[in-house]
Structure 1
Amino acid sequence: MSTEEEDSSLMLEFAAQAFQAQNFQLASEIYERQVKEQKATGVAADWGLLLRRAHCLALTGKLSDACDLYRRAAVQKKVNADDLETLVSCLADHIRTREGLSDPDRPLSQLGALSCGECRGFLWEPVTLLCGHTMCKRCLEGGRGRCTECGSGSSERPLRVNVVLSNILSKWFPRLVRTGRLKQEGNALYRDGKWQEALDTYNQAISLALHDHVLYSNRAMIHFSLKSYECALQDAETACKLQPYWLKGHLRKAQSLASLGRSEEALTEFLFCLALDHGSKTAKSEAQKLLLNLLSLGNSQGDMPDILQTMSHPLRIKGNILSSQSSPSSNSNMQKLKMVQESKMSLSDVTKAFPAEPQVIFQSKCNTMKRKACSEETTWSPAPCKILKIDPTKGDDSEEDNSSDSFIDSSDLDCSLCMRLLYEPVTTPCGHTYCLKCLERCLDHNPKCPLCKEDLSEYLAMRTFCKTDLLEDLIASYFPEELKDRKTVYEEEIAELSNLNTNVPIFVCTMAYPTVPCPLHIFEPCYRLMIRRCMEIGTKQFGMCIGDSVKGFADYGCMLEIRNVEFFSDGRSVVDSIGKRRFKVLRHSQRDGYNTADIEYIEDQKVQGEEYDELLNLHNAVYDQAFNWFTTLKPALKTRILSHFGPMPAKDSDLQVNPNGPAWCWWILAVLPLESRAQLPFLAMRSLKDRINGIRRVLLFMWRSRPR
C-alpha cells in the first residue's frame, strides 16, 4: 500500500471516529477533503464516501447541501430508500423544532380529561391502568399496550372496563356512547370486508357526532379501501383540523395524497407524522420511498431548490391547517384553530375560517352554576357541563337532556364500601373503584375484590395503589363542595388518629422497653390497618402492652416507633420498631377491631445530693454485675442475644438525663429470662433506685441457680 493510500485510510478512520463521537462537522470536512483529493487524481466518484458526507451534512443541519449529494446519488441509482433514513429523520426533527411539537403544553383534545391519550377521542369502554391513567379499551388492545401519559405497561390480566367511569359517561354522554357502539359495529363490518355497510354505519355515527375526529379518520380508511381517494382525503383533512396533533389523522391524509399522485404533499404529511412520532415505521418507510422518487427525478422533471423548499418548510402547502407561521402578519389556519380552541370564535367565524370543510361545531367552555342547563346550540365543551348531563352533539331542545335523569347526583361517585363520596379513588384491575383506605382495609382481610371476588393477590403484592386521575378530576371539578366536606371529615379522622395521648393504638403482644429493638411480624387484619395508619399519619408510633385476661391488656406499656416496614406479597409485613416512652393506661377502648387507650407518660423521679451519690454507686456496682453475667453466658446464647437486641449499652455519664433512666437497665431486663408478669412491675416503676435494686436481685438469683 502506498503512502497516499495509507494517509487516506487513516483519515477515513478518523472521520469514522468523529462520526461515532457525534462530531459531524469534523467528519464532514474530512470526507469533503477525501472527495476533492479523489477528484483531483481523476479517480471515479466513491458513492459510499459521498453518502457518508451527505449523512454528516444532514446531521449538521445543512439540508440543502445534503439533498444535493443525495440527488446526485439517486440519479445515478447509487442510493436506495434505506440510505435516506438519516435525511428523513433530520427533516422530521427540523419540523418538530420549527412547529414546537415537543411542547408539553400543546392542546391534546377538545374533550379535555374525557379523551383517550392514544386516539384523543371520547373515552369508549374506559380502562384504568395500574398507574391511575385511563384509556380506551380498544386503544390498549390494538396499540402498544402502554400508557401514553407515563409509559407504564398494562396488566397481564384481561382488560376490564372501569365500571364507575363507564356508568358516569353513559349518563352524561348518552349520544356519544351510542356513537361509540356504531363505531364498534362499523369496525366489525370493515374487518369482515363489508366496506359499503361499514361506510353507511360511519355515516350514521358522524351524523350524531360531527366533532369526532376518530370517526372521520376511520371513514377515511373505508374510503381509501373503496379507492375513493378524494373522499378519503377530505375526511382525513377534517380529522386533522379537529385534532391537529394526532398522528393517525395525518397518516391517513398522507396515504390519500400519495394515492392521488400528489407526491410532494404526501411527503410533507409523512414527515409531519414523523415529527409527531419519531417511531412511526409506516411514516418513515413511505417518506423514504417518496423522497427517493423525488430525488431521482431531480435532473429532468424536478427543480431541486423548490423540492427542498417544500421539505424545509413542510407546512406551507395551501390548505394545510398547520401552515407556516414565519410571517407575523399571516393569518394562518393554525392561528384560527387556536382561537377556536380558546373559545373566542362563534360558529359563523369557524365556518368562515374553514370554508372548504364540512361544518364542524366547536363548543366553548360553559360556565354555569350547579344544576343549571347550558346552551350548546353553537358551542362544544371540553368537559360535561357542571352537574348536568350534557351530550355535546345535542341542543337544549332535547327531551332526553331535560328529563329528570339529566341531573347528576354525587351518589354516582359514591364508594360502594363506605357509601360516601369517593376520596382518593383507586380502580382495581377488575374495574371496580373504591376509596383508597376502604380498599386497603378490605384487602387486609381478604385479597379479593369486595364486589366481584376476583383474586387481587398480585395487585396487593405490588403495593402501588395509584389513584384514578380522571375520577379525581371529575369530583374536584363538579362536586367541589361535597369534596370539601369529605376532605374535612377525613382530616378530622387523621387529626384524631395523630393524637398520642387519646385513643392511642395498642398492640397486645409482648413486653417492650425504651431504647430496646422490638421486631414484629404483622399478619392479623386489625394490626395491618393499625400499622398502616401509623405510617400514613406520620407519627409512626403505637403502644405495646401484654395481654390481660380481665381488661384485655395491661395497665402499663411502652410506645414503639416504626423504623422500617417490609411488606410481603400476601399482605403480611415485618415491622422494625424500637421502644420510646413508657405510659400508664387511663382508659381501655377499641377502634376498628384493634385496641386503643387514653394514656399518660411515665418518667423517673429525680434525686439530688447524697441520694444521687448513693444511686450512682449502686448503678456502677449493678452494671458491672450485669456485664459479668452476660460475658459468662454460653457463646451460642450470647450470639442469639446480640443478633436480636444488639450489644449491651454503655454506662450513661448522667443517670437522670433520660426520663426512662439508663438504656442498659432496659436492655438487661429484655435479655433476662423473666416472665412477662415479672417484667411488668419494672416498667411501672418511677424510681430508678428501685429498678436497679430489682435487677440486682434477679441477677443474684440467676447467678446462684446456674449449674456448677
Structure 2
Amino acid sequence: MFSTNNRSTLRKTRSRRQKSKLKPHHSTQSTKLDHRTTTPNSSLIHRFHDILNDLRPSWTRFLSYSILELEPICHQLAIQQMSSATSVTEYCPLACVFCQSFIYEPITLYCGHTYCDQCMKDESSAIDCPRCPQDIQGQIQSPIVHARENSYEKNRFLLHIFEQSEQLRKHCQTILLRRKGQNEYAQGNFQKAIDTYSQIIDEYDSNDHLALYNRAKAYLALQNYDQGLLDATHVITVKPHWIKGYLCQSEILFEMQNYTAALMSSLKALVIDPENPTGKQLMARHLHAVLHNIDDDDDGGATTTESELEQLQLASLFQEHPEEKNSTENDDNQLKMCKLSQSSGSCCCLLLDGKNLNSTDFGCSICCNLLWFPITTPCGHVFCRECVIRSVDNTQAKCPICKSSLQNFFPMLIQSHVNKSEIISKIIETYFPIEFNERRQIYEQENIRGASMSSTLMSNEGQTESQIFEIPIFVCVLAFPNCVCPLHVFEPRYRLMMRRSIETQSRIFGMCAYDEQTDNFADYGTLLYIRGRVYTPDGRSIVDTIGQRRFRVIERGMTDGYNVARVQLVKDHPIEQQEFDDLFQLNRYTYNRVRTWFDRLDPRKQTQIVQRLEGYPICDDLTLESTDGPSWTWIMINLLPIDELLQSTALASQSFRIRIQMISDAIDFLLNQQENHQQQQEEDKQEPEPTAPTSN
C-alpha cells in the first residue's frame, strides 16, 4: 500500500506533527486528563495496546495479506472484545435501530419490529433484523429481505397515530431538513449540505446526531478533517452504541493518516456489530495501513501509536458533552413505553403525546374491539391476529380493507411466524391498561375453548368418574386410544377449533363419529392429542393426532360454528383377582395369534400395515390399574375387519373381556381364511396337468 523507501520518513514526520499538536494542550488540560485516566475509554485504549502487542509476533506474516484477507482476522478480534464491551439490552420502541432516531415513515416487519422506510431501503443496512434474537435468525426468511422483496408499505395505522402528536409533527420538520441536506450531498453540493445541517444543529437540536453525522461526512468530502472529526466525536458522545458514528470517525482519522487511531475506532464499531460488512472492510483497511506503517524495531512506531491514541482520547474527553435534559419531572408526569431515561439520548417515548390518544383509535376494523395481538399486513393495515385468520378462513387471502393479496403473508401468519406489532402493543398496554385487561378477558372467553385437562387426569393417577370437562368436538370418524389419527382440516369452523385447541396447554380435542339415527354426534368418543400440524398455503392443514382417553358425552353445545360437549372420562371396571389371571393369559395368547396372522401375510401387506401403525405394536400386559386395557388391543380393533357397530360397542365398553373376545373372533375368521387359501393352493398344485390330444 505504501512504498518501503518512504515508510520510515512518513512515520517519523507524522509522529513529529502529532507531538506538536499535543503540546499546546498538555499544560492547560493535564489536570483534566489525570482525573479521567480510569474512564472506560482509557481502559479500552489499554486493551487496544494489548491487541497490538498480540499481533506483533505475526506482523511479518500479515504483511503479505491483502485487505480482503484481513477481514476474517478483524472479525475475530471484534468477537473477542465483545465480552468486555457494554451491550445495549433495552430499546425504545419508537426509535429506529439503524438511524437511532425517531421512526419516520414506519415500516413494520412480520417479526413485529418497526424501522424507517428510508433505513429499510438502504442496501447497506443489515439483512437480518437487529432486534430479533440471534438464535432464530436464519431459521426462516429474514424479515428485512421479505419486506424488500414484497414491497412492504408504510404502517398506515402508526402514521395516523403519529399525526396526532404535536411534538412529533415538530420533530418531522428536522427530518425534512435532513432529507434536504442529503439531497444536496448526493448532488455534490457539500457546502450547501453543511449549511442545512448547521441550521438543524443551531436552531433545533444541538445534539441531533444524524445532522452531526451527515455534516461530518460532508466535511470529510471537503477534506475539512478537523471539523469533521469534532462532529464525528460529538456523534459518538450522543450515541455511544451507534456503529455509524465510529465508522465515520475512523474514516476521518484514516484520511488524517492517524492509522492506529482509525483502527481503534473501527474496532469499536465492529464490536457493536461484528457482522457489519462495511465495518469489516474499513477495519481491514485500517489494519493493513497499521501493519505497513509500524516497525517493531523502531521506537518511533510505538511513539506514533501512543500519540495517535492520546489524540483520539483527547478529542473524546475535550468534546463538550451534550447537556442532559432535565427529564426527571417529565418521567414522573408522563408514561413511557421503555425503561430508558430521556437523558440517555436513546428514548423517543416522550415525543408521543399520550394525553391526546384515545382507546377508540386502537380498535380493530373487523371485530370493532380494542386490538388484541395486533399484526401489521404488508399493505400497512393493522388487525387482531385472530380476526385476519378468521377472515381468510371464510374468504380469500386478501386484506379485509384494501383487498391486497396476502398470499405470501398468510402462510407465515398461520404458522405463528408473524409476531405482534411491538409499538402498537406497547402503546395500548402503557396508556390504556384498564381497557387492555378488559380486552384480555374478552379474548379468553371467546377463544380459549380447548380442553384444559391436567396431566394427572390424563394418566392413570387421580381418576374420578364424577369430573366433567368441556371440550371441542370434531365430528368425523371413530377414533380409539393409542391409535394414530391424521386429519385433513379444511372447513373454516374446524380451522378455528384446531387453532384454539393447539393454543391450550393440553393440545387436546374430542373426536366422535356421526350417528345417523340421532342426526348428531355419537355418545362416546376419544380425546385426541395434537402431535403436529402442517399448513398448506391456503390455510388448510394436515394435523397429526393420536388417541388418548375415552369419554362419554353428558351435554352437547355449539361455539362459533363447531360442536362442543361436556364430557366424562370412561375407564374399565375393576377386575377381580381370579378373573385377572385368566385375562392376563388370554391377552398374551390372543396377541400371539394376531402375530401369527400377520406373519403369514405377504411382505407388501406387512409393509403397508407397519407404515400405517408407525411400527408393529408390542404386547403390553394387562394390569389391575389399567383404565383402557393394553394399547395393542385398541390398535387391532382399529386395524382388523371388525364391523363399525361392534367397534362402537368396544369404544363404549368398560369390559376388557368383551374387547379381547372381539379381537379373538376376528382373528379366528382371518386365520381360517388363510388356512383355506393355503389348502386351495396346495390342491391346485396336486391336480394333474391336462395332456394334449394325439392326432392320427
TM-score by length of 2: 0.69
**2:86 aligned to which of 80, 98, 103:** 103
Aligned to 1:118: 98
Contact 1:364/1:382 (8 A) holds in 2:
no
Query: CA, structure 1 residues 209+652, in 2 after alignment: closer, same or farther (shift >3 Å)?
Result: same
CA distance in 2 between partners of 1:694 and 1:69 (Å): 82
**Aligned partner (choices 622, 627, 633) of residue 659 of structure 1:** 627
Partner of 1:316: 313
Measured at CA, do residues 590 and 184 of structure 1 come closer, stay the same or move farther in structure 2, by a change above 3 Å? farther
**Which structure 2 residues correspond to residues 164-313 of structure 1 after superposition, within 5 A?**
164-172=157-165, 173-195=168-190, 198-199=193-194, 201-203=196-198, 205-206=200-201, 207-225=203-221, 232-253=228-249, 255=251, 263-264=257-258, 268-269=261-262, 271-277=264-270, 280=279, 283-284=282-283, 287=286, 291=290, 304-313=301-310
What do residues 91-114 of structure 1 show as CA deviations (whole Å, max 9, x unaligned)? 9969996x9872214888xxx332
3-state SS in 1 of match to 2:483: coil
User: 1:428 and 1:611, CA in 2 relative to 1: closer, same or farther beyond 3 A?
Assistant: same
Answer whether contact 1:93 1:275 (CA < 8 A) is retained: no
Count of residue pairs brought into register by the alignment: 582
Preserved contact between residue 449 and residue 500 of structure 2 (Cα < 8 Å): no
Deviation of 1:222 after TM superposition, in Å, equals 3.6
Relative to structure 1, the CA distance from residue 163 to residue 701 in structure 2 (aligned partners, 3 Å threshold; closer, same or farther) is same
Query: Which one-letter code corresponds to 1:157 in the other structure?
Result: N
CA distance in 2, matches of 1:681, 1:68: 84
Letter in 2 for 1:511: L
> How far is 1:470 from its partner?
3.9
CA contact (8 A) 1:67 1:308 kept: no
1:396 aligned partner: none
Amino acid at match of 2:330: C
Tell me, what secondary structure is at the counterpart of 1:521? strand
Aligned to 2:357: 408
The C-alpha deviation readout for 1:287-343, integer Å capped at 9, x for no partner, is 4587589759x99xx9555422124556422x424x7xxxxxxxxx7xx95xx7xxx
Q: What is the match of residue 604 of structure 1?
A: 572
Q: Which residue of 1 aligns with 2:687?
A: none
List alignment gaps of at least 5 residues for structure 1.
Answer: 1-57, 324-332, 341-346, 351-360, 373-377, 391-404
Q: Which structure has the higher relative contact order (CA within 8 Å, separation 6+)? A: 2
Change (3 A) 1:676 1:447: farther
Matches within 5 A, 1:235-634: 235-253=231-249, 255=251, 263-264=257-258, 268-269=261-262, 271-277=264-270, 280=279, 283-284=282-283, 287=286, 291=290, 304-313=301-310, 315-317=312-314, 319-321=315-317, 363-364=327-328, 366-369=330-333, 383=347, 389-390=352-353, 407-445=356-394, 446-462=396-412, 463=415, 464-491=417-444, 497-500=450-453, 501-549=468-516, 550-608=518-576
| 133-142 or 229-238: bigger deviation | 229-238
Equivalent position amino acid for 1:527 in 2:
Y
Question: What's the counterpart of residue 127 of structure 1?
Answer: 107
- SS for the counterpart of 1:598 is strand
Report the CA distance shift for 1:59/1:670 in structure 2 as closer, same or farther (over 3 A).
Answer: same
Cα 1:593–1:495 change in 2 (3 A) is closer
Q: Give the direction of change, closer, same or farther, for the CA distance of 1:274–1:584 in structure 2 (3 Å limit).
A: same
Structure 2 equivalent of residue 402 of structure 1: none
Deviation digits for residues 324-369 of structure 1, max 9, x if unmatched?
xxxxxxxxx7xx95xx7xxxxxx5xx5xxxxxxxxxx675572345
Give the superposition deviation at 1:272: 1.1
Correspondence list, 1:38-117, <5 A: 61=50, 63=52, 102-105=85-88, 112-117=92-97
Matched residue SS, 1:588: strand
- Matched residue of 2:548: which SS? strand
Secondary structure at the counterpart of residue 121 of structure 1: coil
Shift of 1:407: 1.0
Give the direction of change, closer, same or farther, for the CA distance of 1:647–1:249 in structure 2 (3 Å limit). closer
Q: Is 1:254–1:267's contact at 8 Å kept on the other side of the alignment?
A: no
Whole-Å separation in 1 of the counterparts to 2:528 and 2:636 = 18
User: Shift of the alpha carbon at 1:678?
Assistant: 4.7
Task: Pick closer, same or farther for the CA change 1:430–1:655 going to 2, 3 Å.
Answer: same
Q: CA deviation at 1:511?
A: 1.0
Q: CA deviation at 1:544?
A: 0.9
The separation in 2 between residues aligned to 1:647 and 1:106, in whole angstroms, is 49
Q: Determine the C-alpha separation between the residues in 2 that align with 1:84 and 1:193.
A: 29
Identity level (%): 30
Check 1:270–1:118 CA distance in 2 against 1; reply closer, same or farther (3 A cut): farther
> Offset at 1:539?
0.6
Quick check: 1:175–1:208 contact (8 Å CA) kept in 2? Answer: no
Please identify, of 169-178 and 246-255, the stretch whose mean Cα deviation from structure 2 is larger.
246-255
Partner residue of 1:668?
636
Hey, what's the Cα distance between the residues in 2 that align with 1:309 and 1:145?
38
SS at match of 2:543: strand
Deviates more, 1:690-699 or 1:58-67: 58-67
Deviations 1:457-516 (A, max 9, x none): 444445322344444444444334433443444455676534454431111111111222
Give the direction of change, closer, same or farther, for the CA distance of 1:63–1:146 in structure 2 (3 Å limit): closer
> Aligned to 1:218, what secondary structure does the other structure show?
helix
Change (3 A) 1:229 1:512: same
Give the structure 1 partner of residue 16 of structure 2.
none
Cα distance, 1:122 vs. partner?
A: 1.7
Q: What is the identity, as a one-letter code, of the residue corresponding to 2:170?
A: R
Q: Distance in 1 between matches of 2:474 and 2:564?
A: 8
Query: Measured at CA, do residues 295 and 626 of structure 1 come closer, stay the same or move farther in structure 2, by a change above 3 Å?
Result: closer
The whole-number CA distance in structure 1 between the counterparts of 2:116 and 2:301 is 45
User: Which residue identity lines up with residue 102 of structure 1 in the other structure?
Assistant: A
Matched residues in 2 for 1:498 and 1:413: separation?
32
1:272–1:314: 8 Å Cα contact kept in structure 2? no
- Compute the TM-score of the two structures, normalised by the length of structure 1: 0.68
